[in-house]
Amino acid sequence: MGKRKKSSRKPAAASAARRREPLDTAFTCLFCHHDKSVTVRVDRKEGIAQLVCRVCDQRYQSKVNHLTEPIDIYSEWIDAADAAQKEEQTHRRPAASSSRPVPAPPSVGSDDD
């Protein structure tokens, strides 16, 4: 007596599940708002990634590891820009306000004496 024959799986269904779509490498600039003007170059040998906008020439540089993708560098740039903006707002001194009304300057031609 022989064993039962197992049903064969279709290889197309298995390979479709494994296939990943490539991630973007060109992004929208935070400063000039041009679509796909920001490019990210990842140099794994040096351990550095560079982000550059072709339109407004904004630049950002970060350290990378073997898992880092261009979208990670773009996200770090967004976080760094937000942090810098918040830091700038906290260092600004708010305008001095007073509850007392400011007296109007006396007019030159009035004779109240």
Cα 18 vs. chain centroid, distance in angstroms?
29
What is the rounded CA–CA span in Å between residue 20 and residue 29? 26
What is the rounded CA–CA span in Å between residue 82 and residue 62? 16
Q: Give the residue, 26 or 21, on which the prediction is more confident.
A: 26
Q: Are 40 and 51 in contact (CB under 8 A)?
A: yes
pTM above 0.75, yes or no: no
pLDDT tens digits for 1-18? 677 777 776 665 555 567
